[in-house]
Amino acid sequence: MHRLFLLLYSMLFYGLVSCSGAGKSNETVKAVEKTDSCKLDSKNTYEVYIPKRANANQKLPLVVIIDSHGSGKFALGKFKQAANQFSAVLIASNLVKNGFEGYKEAIRTLIEDVHQKYPIGETVFMTGFSGGARMALGYALAHHQNGLILCGALANPDQIKALHCPVISISGMDDFNFMETAQYLFQEQSTPDNLKIELTSASHSWPDSPILANAFGFLRLSCQTADIPSLPKPLLKIYCQNQQSRIDSLSHQGDFLKAVLVARNMSSTAPFNNDPAFASTCNVLKTNPSYISQLNRLEKCLNFEISARQPYLEAFQTKDTLWWRNEIRTSEEKIKTEQDSYTRDTYRRIKGFWGIASYSLCKQAIKEQNPEALNKILSIYRMLEPENPDMFYFSSFTYLWSGNNGTTLSLLKKAIEAGFSDRSQLKKDFPESITSKL
């Protein structure tokens, strides 16, 4: 009887141990990549990437990615290196894009849906490019985030201070929106403490994956929250060593402006500033005559650009095609032959400004159904960006208004072949008799 009791007890004990371990696994969980949609709104679709993790119960921080064109898959691909290196779940919206009026509600619905489905904690980072950066900023001003990476667009000091989280600005020095970041390069004392700046030569586009991984690593390693596991200490050491190597490399190349910004970011943020070498390096670099010279050259170029923008806007209405052809040719020649990189970037920014002005003025003419104004702007837009998908798209409206459906359809096909992908906007703008043939 006693032996029977021991046998039953043993079976019960091992059964309880087995049950208590149910659902737990020490096996590595493979990476997941998929497309999903919100339960509350099936049109609110998004791309998902979950990196390989130690076990199924491990919760990771969330990174919400907003692309200006709603190209979720493309934008998500830019951040996979970051997710693999620093352990985070990526979510990239396919719905939210430039001109999407209900973006705040759509993002909120997206984040709530993700929390119900995927292994994430309460730590949320947001990032966006261009108009996507502005929407990420707008959402973050109303909903607390643990950090932002804003690419190709920035905000005023009051907005940045109001975020109460680290904000990394990644800006191409030849980007037409560079002016929004450049203001902080000359006003260090009045720059918000939570703003960190990285400069690239990426023009107006998503930065490369290594740059984004570096920026996210900065946020992840400096973020102190209780709901996500701390990253291994050796990873912090490696990250700091890599940043010191970047500073040394940039200095050796003579790019003191970028080197100072990396050193400043590291020396002003815990836990990186535990190493006093970053502050020391930053102070030494700022006294270098080459750094001072670069700041002065940049300021001169920016003042020239500021003084030129308003006259160029007026020239869209007052100057003819021949004048614009000469102006565009002169600018392109400067970009090809100018030896000074700051001057070269200035002309790239001016040309980019012409492009975005053409885009905006075309949209205004279409809204007003003004074919004369539209054709005038398009004559400039075609010279500036002859393969631009938006240019082809806008060109189709004058033919639509005149009843020439054949040419309208031909131009829309060219727009799609060149990269135009906003099918929902196309269906709003054109009748089904045309869209059904695309």
| Residue 366 confidence (pLDDT) | 97
45-50 and 89-93 strand pairing: antiparallel
- My answer on whether 134 and 175 are in the same domain is yes
- Domain-terminating residue out of 231, 251, 266: 231
- Domain-terminating residue out of 231, 252, 280: 231
- My answer on whether 137 and 116 are in the same domain is yes
- My answer on whether 42 and 190 are in the same domain is yes
128 found inside a domain: yes
- My answer on whether 67 and 120 are in the same domain is yes
CATH of the domain at 132: 3.40.50.1820
- My answer on whether 311 and 394 are in the same domain is no
| Residue 26 confidence (pLDDT) | 59
End-to-end CA distance of the chain: 83
- My answer on whether 411 and 426 are in the same domain is yes
> Coil, helix or strand for 19?
helix
93 found inside a domain: yes
292 found inside a domain: no
- My answer on whether 184 and 76 are in the same domain is yes
- Could you write out the DSSP letters of every residue in 118-130? SSEEEEEEEEEET
54 found inside a domain: yes
Q: How far apart are CA 231 and CA 355, in angstroms?
A: 43
For 13, the token pair is: 């004990």
Query: In 157-242, at which residue ranges do the beta strands (DSSP E only) sit?
Result: 167-172, 195-200
- Domain-terminating residue out of 176, 208, 231: 231
The segments of the chain whose pLDDT lies below 70 read 1-26
The sign of the dihedral angle between the CA atoms of 59, 227, 35, 84 is negative
Number of independent structural domains in the chain: 3
- My answer on whether 363 and 436 are in the same domain is no
What radius of gyration, in Å, describes the C-alpha atoms of the chain?
26
Residue type, 191: T
Q: What digits encode the pLDDT tens for the residues 278-297?
A: 999 999 999 999 999 999 99
- My answer on whether 73 and 213 are in the same domain is yes
Side by side, which strands form the sheet with 32-37? 32-37, 45-50, 89-93, 60-66, 120-129, 147-151, 167-172, 195-200
Q: How far apart are CA 360 and CA 400, in angstroms?
A: 20
- My answer on whether 326 and 370 are in the same domain is yes
242 found inside a domain: no
- My answer on whether 382 and 393 are in the same domain is no
67 found inside a domain: yes
- My answer on whether 46 and 193 are in the same domain is yes
| Torsion of Cα atoms, 422 then 424 then 426 then 432, to 10° | 150
258 found inside a domain: no
- Please give the DSSP secondary-structure letter assigned to residue 29: B
CB–CB of 285/260 below 8 Å?
yes
6 found inside a domain: no
Domain carrying residue 401: 389-438
| Residue 324 confidence (pLDDT) | 98
89-93 and 60-66 strand pairing: parallel
Contacts of 112 (CB under 8 A, 6+ apart): 40
- Cα atoms found within 13 Å of the Cα of residue 154, Cβ hemisphere only: 28
Residue 81 CB coordination number (10 Å)? 17
Q: At what angle do helices 277-286 and 256-267 cross, to 10 degrees?
A: 150
45-50 and 32-37 strand pairing: antiparallel
Q: How far apart are CA 25 and CA 54, in angstroms?
A: 9
